[in-house]
Chain A
């Protein structure tokens, strides 16, 4: 049973466009929500993370929006570039371990 539901499974965006990936969870014990970027054949790299005490966090072109009441959070990639083409995983942590979403493959067309 997947504790974190991620959508869409894949998306294609034009260079300069905005990529949006959504995640939802049920377990209210989760208090840490990171996003990871993974390129083929490589390990995931921590991109950005948020805790429930804030509703938004921005780092460069990457923004997390967090809605505690709806138990949803999303990743926005602004001004998407071909180098952003990768698989993105959301996750949720509860002091013991991370539960990962299924992943979203993002393709940025030049």
Chain B
């Protein structure tokens, strides 16, 4: 149990376009989901906390207008990178909370902006 999926697994886009990444909890409901960004050989950096039915809470330094998060249901959260630029290229990982504080991670989405 506790499976989290992400789609797509990788995406290449042109600079200036928007990209949507989906995160789904497949076998449990998650009131809270999280979005992380990871650079090569570095730790996970929390971008935002997504709560079903309410606005996301963004970490300091993360542009909320650039990284739009929508938690439409108890099993789906989406991250939209708007007007993507090469510096947005990264590995984006979501997690879903099951039980108190226990996070299960998705497989990640690799974004390359040309």
Contacts and interface: CB of A to CB of B under 8 A. Distances in A.
B105 A43 contact: yes
Contacts, number: 51
Given A41-B110, A89-B43, A89-B44, A46 B49 contact: no
Interface string A86-98: 0001000101111
B44 A42 contact: no
Interface of B: 2, 4, 6, 34, 41-44, 46, 49, 93, 95, 100-108, 110
A46 B102 contact: yes
The CB with the most chain A CB atoms within 10 A, among B101, B107, B110, is that of B101
B107 A43 contact: yes
Given A89-B44, A98-B34, 11 more contacts: A32-B102, A34-B102, A34-B103, A41-B108, A43-B6, A44-B44, A44-B93, A46-B105, A89-B43, A95-B100, A97-B46
Contact of B105 (A41, A44, A95, A103): A44
Interface residues of A, number: 22
A98 B44 CA distance: 10
